């Protein structure tokens, strides 16, 4: 991976946590592209974005990839904002989603036990379908009950609950080894660690985190320390981390994967439970995943993934990285929203990268975003800024060079 990108990814996190020095990452298999060739695209507008129905916060300046993003065709920009879920060998829907819509990212779903080499080969084959998109491959590799990749080269990762029993030094060391394996498998983004703070009294009733042993504890300071150790360990090896599920699923009962309405009536914009997310943002973590629960004390009118108030908190904290959605494809929590509007609403609220675990919905999502962009110059300008953030993330993990 490019040394400049690796230094930038590691620097913010290492400076914040003041832990061990950052090692140079191993090279990855996916080629680095100096540019994604553009067709014709309108120049980025200099006018302020028009307000959307979710009142998006002011777009943050992005560099150094903004010029690259502005040169892309509208189709290519939209493709950079979609992460399609793929499981096992590509089926027809997965292949069409990637090739027909210039999709720039995939997330590996399901249990895959082929080991490092088979995973690297698979990622390379997917990248070859659309080489100009500079594919970014991601995975949920938390540990415990949530570990997608196993087999030769992948260690069994303990649950976050067990990781919390390790010293911070040992946790960071192990995180480096887990990241090293992902790097060899050509995975640039891990959708971990979980930064949700689950109160001790809710461990047994909290379906998404507590019941699955996915949390680092009930003390925000401890969760902050653990998540920072993991983020730093991954950054040292050139793999970006994703803190999730902002602004936290610790106070809820239902799981957004299989419940239609999950509501948090406790968390506020200044709650102590947001500390792990704020520390990650200050350390320039690779991505922040926004949950699809509703937080009545922040924005009672919108699910978090569709809330400019929720996403706006991250930008108010100074975060310039990628805001990624929780699944907007297969998850039950967003089924009441038409597929054509899910990506539109997330991007309009200030999000950058849409996870879609149902590849068959990709066409509808892309069509909805394109229709809105053609009718709303301010929204199209937001797409350019988001594409720039995604390209910048790709640069930090060696999948792209902003030239």
pLDDT tens profile 245-260: 999 999 999 999 988 8
Q: What is the DSSP string of 273-326?
A: GGHHHHHHHHTT-SEEEEPSSEEHHHHEEEEGGG-HHHHHHHHHTT--SEEEES
CA dist., res. 79 & res. 103, Å (int): 4
Task: Indicate the DSSP class of residue 89.
Answer: S
- Mean pLDDT computed over 153-182: 98
* DSSP strand pairing (136-139 vs 189-190): parallel
Evaluate whether residue 25 is within a structural domain. no
- Mean pLDDT computed over 96-105: 96
pLDDT tens profile 42-93: 333 333 333 344 444 444 445 679 999 999 999 999 999 999 999 988 999 9
Q: Is 13's pLDDT higher than 70?
A: no
Q: Is 272's pLDDT higher than 80?
A: yes
Q: Is 6's pLDDT higher than 50?
A: no
pLDDT confidence band for 4 (50 / 70 / 90):
very low
Q: What integer pLDDT is reported at residue 5 of this predicted model?
A: 38
% of the chain with per-residue pLDDT over 90? 82
Evaluate whether residue 231 is within a structural domain. yes
Q: What is the DSSP string of 239-272?
A: -EEEEEEET-STT-SS-TTT-S--EESS--TT-G
Evaluate whether residue 350 is within a structural domain. yes
Q: What integer pLDDT is reported at residue 63 of this predicted model?
A: 64
Domain count across the chain: 1
**Domain with 114 in it:** 3-20+60-396
pLDDT confidence band for 173 (50 / 70 / 90):
very high
pLDDT confidence band for 403 (50 / 70 / 90):
confident
Helix pair 3-17, 220-236: axis angle to 10 deg: 160
Which tops the pLDDT comparison, 258 or 377? 377
Evaluate whether residue 88 is within a structural domain. yes
Which tops the pLDDT comparison, 205 or 7? 205
Evaluate whether residue 146 is within a structural domain. yes
- Mean pLDDT computed over 316-344: 97
Q: Is 181's pLDDT higher than 90?
A: yes
Mean of the per-residue pLDDT values of the chain: 87
Q: Which residues contact 56 (CB under 8 A, 6 or more apart)?
A: 49, 308, 311, 312, 348, 349, 350, 382
The dihedral formed by the CA atoms of 251, 257, 261 and 265, expressed in degrees to the nearest 10: 10
Evaluate whether residue 38 is within a structural domain. no
Instruction: Report the CATH number that the domain containing residue 275 is assigned in CATH.
Output: 3.20.20.300
Evaluate whether residue 42 is within a structural domain. no
* DSSP strand pairing (141-143 vs 82-87): unpaired
Evaluate whether residue 173 is within a structural domain. yes
Q: What integer pLDDT is reported at residue 24 of this predicted model?
A: 34
Q: Is 148's pLDDT higher than 50?
A: yes
- Mean pLDDT computed over 362-381: 98
């Amino acid at each position: 991976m490019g040394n400049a990108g690796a230094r930038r990814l590691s620097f913010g996190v290492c400076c914040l946590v003041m832990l061990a020095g950052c090692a140079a990452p191993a090279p990855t298999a996916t080629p680095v592209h100096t540019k994604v060739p553009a067709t014709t695209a309108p120049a980025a507008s200099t006018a302020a974005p028009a307000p959307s129905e979710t009142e998006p916060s002011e777009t943050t300046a992005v560099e150094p990839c903004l010029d690259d993003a502005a040169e892309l065709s509208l189709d290519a920009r939209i493709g950079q904002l979609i992460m399609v879920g793929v499981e096992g060998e590509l089926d027809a829907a997965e292949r069409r989603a990637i090739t027909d819509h210039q999709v720039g990212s995939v997330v590996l779903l399901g249990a895959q036990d082929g080991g490092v080499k088979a995973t690297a080969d698979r990622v390379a084959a997917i990248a070859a379908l659309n080489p100009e998109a500079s594919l970014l491959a991601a995975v949920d590799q938390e540990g415990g009950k949530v570990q997608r990749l196993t087999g030769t080269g992948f260690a069994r990762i303990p649950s976050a609950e067990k990781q919390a029993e390790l010293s911070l030094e040992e946790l960071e060391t192990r995180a480096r080894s887990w990241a090293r394996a992902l790097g060899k498998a050509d995975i640039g983004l891990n959708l971990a660690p979980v930064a949700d703070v689950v109160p001790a009294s809710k461990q047994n009733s909290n379906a998404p985190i507590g019941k699955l042993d996915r949390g680092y504890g009930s003390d925000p300071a401890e969760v902050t320390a653990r998540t920072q150790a993991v983020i730093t360990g991954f950054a040292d090896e050139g793999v970006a981390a994703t803190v999730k599920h902002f602004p936290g699923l610790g106070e809820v009962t239902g799981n957004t994967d299989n419940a239609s309405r999950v509501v948090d009536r406790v968390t506020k914009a200044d709650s102590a439970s947001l500390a792990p997310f704020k520390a990650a943002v200050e350390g320039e973590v690779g991505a922040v995943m926004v949950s699809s629960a509703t937080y009545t004390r922040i924005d009672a009118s919108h699910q978090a993934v569709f809330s400019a108030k929720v996403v706006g908190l991250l930008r108010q904290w100074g975060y310039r990285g990628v805001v990624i959605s929780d699944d907007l494809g297969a998850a039950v929590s967003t089924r009441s929203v038409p597929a054509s509007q899910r990506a539109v609403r997330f991007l309009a609220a200030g999000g950058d990268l849409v996870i879609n675990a149902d590849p068959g919905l990709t066409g509808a999502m892309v069509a909805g975003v394109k229709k809105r962009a053609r009718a709303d110059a301010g929204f199209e300008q937001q797409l350019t800024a988001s594409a720039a953030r995604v390209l910048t993330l790709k640069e930090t993990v060696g999948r792209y060079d902003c030239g």
